[in-house]
Structure 1
Amino acid sequence: MKIAFLTPEYPHPKTSHSAGIGSSIKNLAVELLQNNHRVTVFVYSEDSNEIFEDNGISIHKIGYKKYPMLSWYLYRKQLQNYINNIIKVNQIDLIEAPDWTGITAFIKFRCPLLIRLHGTDAYFCKLEGRKQKIKNYFFEKVALKSADYIASVSEFTALETKRIFNIKTAIKVIYNGINTTQFYNRQNTFYFEEELGETILYFGSVIRKKGVLELAKIFNKVVEKRPSTQLTLLGKDVIDIFENKSTLELFMTKLSSEAKQNVIHINHVPYEKVKEHIRKANVIVLPSFAEAFPMTWLEAMAMRKGLVTSNIGWANELMIDGKTGFTENPVAHQLYADKILQLLENKELNATFGINAKERIHQFFSLEVIGAKNINYYKSILKK
Structure 2
Amino acid sequence: MKIGFITSEYPHAKIKYAAGIGTSIKNLAVTLVKKGVNVTVFVYHQEAEVVFLDEGVEIHLIKKKKYKIATWYFYRRHIQKYTNVIVKTKNIQLLEAPDWTGITAFMNFNVPLVIRFHGSDAYFCKLDGRKQKIKNFLFEKLALKKAEAYIAPTTYAGIETQKIFELNKEKIKTIHYGLKLDDFINDSQNVYDRNTILYIGTIIRKKGVLELAEIFNKVIESNPEAKLILIGSDSPDIKTSYTSTYSLMENLFSTKAKKQSNYLGKVPYTEVQNYIKKAHVCVFPSFAETLGMVTIESMALQKPVVNTSIGWAQELIDDGVNGFLVHPRQTDEYATKILELFNNEKLCIEIGKAARKKVEELFDIDNNAEMNIEYYNSIIK
Interval of TM-score (by shorter of Structure 1 and Structure 2) = over 0.9
Residues 1-384 of structure 1 aligned to structure 2 (within 5 Å): 1-170=1-170, 171-187=172-188, 190-193=189-192, 196-245=193-242, 246-383=244-381
Between the aligned partners of 2:217 and 2:197, the Cα distance in structure 1 is 13
Q: Quick one: which amino acid aligns to residue 126 of structure 1?
A: K
Between the aligned partners of 2:130 and 2:164, the Cα distance in structure 1 is 14
After superposition, the C-alpha distances for 1:316-357 in whole angstroms (9 at most, x for unaligned) are 111110001111011111100000001100010011000000
Aligned-residue offset at 1:151: 1.3
SS of equivalent to 1:15: coil
Between the aligned partners of 1:281 and 1:380, the Cα distance in structure 2 is 43
Aligned-residue offset at 1:27: 0.4
SS of equivalent to 1:181: helix
SS of equivalent to 2:24: helix
Between the aligned partners of 1:323 and 1:105, the Cα distance in structure 2 is 43
Aligned-residue offset at 1:121: 0.1
Between the aligned partners of 2:76 and 2:141, the Cα distance in structure 1 is 16
Q: Quick one: which amino acid aligns to residue 210 of structure 1?
A: K
User: Number of aligned pairs?
Assistant: 379
Between the aligned partners of 1:134 and 1:63, the Cα distance in structure 2 is 27
Between the aligned partners of 1:148 and 1:380, the Cα distance in structure 2 is 11
After superposition, the C-alpha distances for 1:67-110 in whole angstroms (9 at most, x for unaligned) are 11121111111111110000000000110000000000111112
CA contact (8 A) 2:194 2:279 kept: no
Aligned-residue offset at 1:192: 4.5
Q: Quick one: which amino acid aligns to residue 229 of structure 1?
A: A
Between the aligned partners of 1:264 and 1:376, the Cα distance in structure 2 is 45
SS of equivalent to 2:306: strand
Between the aligned partners of 1:228 and 1:352, the Cα distance in structure 2 is 23
Between the aligned partners of 2:168 and 2:57, the Cα distance in structure 1 is 35
Runs of at least 4 residues of structure 1 off by over 6 A?
none
SS of equivalent to 2:311: coil
Q: Quick one: which amino acid aligns to residue 74 of structure 1?
A: F
CA contact (8 A) 1:52 1:60 kept: yes
Q: Quick one: which amino acid aligns to residue 349 of structure 1?
A: L
Aligned-residue offset at 1:377: 0.8
Over aligned residue pairs, what C-alpha RMSD do you find?
0.9
Between the aligned partners of 1:9 and 1:39, the Cα distance in structure 2 is 16
Aligned-residue offset at 1:372: 1.1
Between the aligned partners of 1:161 and 1:255, the Cα distance in structure 2 is 35
SS of equivalent to 1:314: helix
Give the TM-score taking structure 2 as reference length. Answer: 0.98
Between the aligned partners of 1:83 and 1:273, the Cα distance in structure 2 is 33
Between the aligned partners of 1:203 and 1:77, the Cα distance in structure 2 is 36
CA contact (8 A) 1:192 1:282 kept: no
Aligned-residue offset at 1:379: 1.4
Aligned-residue offset at 1:270: 1.1
After superposition, the C-alpha distances for 1:36-93 in whole angstroms (9 at most, x for unaligned) are 1110000011122111111211000001111111211111111111100000000001
Give the TM-score taking structure 1 as reference length. Answer: 0.97
Q: Which runs of 5+ in 1 are unaligned?
A: none
Q: Quick one: which amino acid aligns to residue 271 of structure 2?
A: K
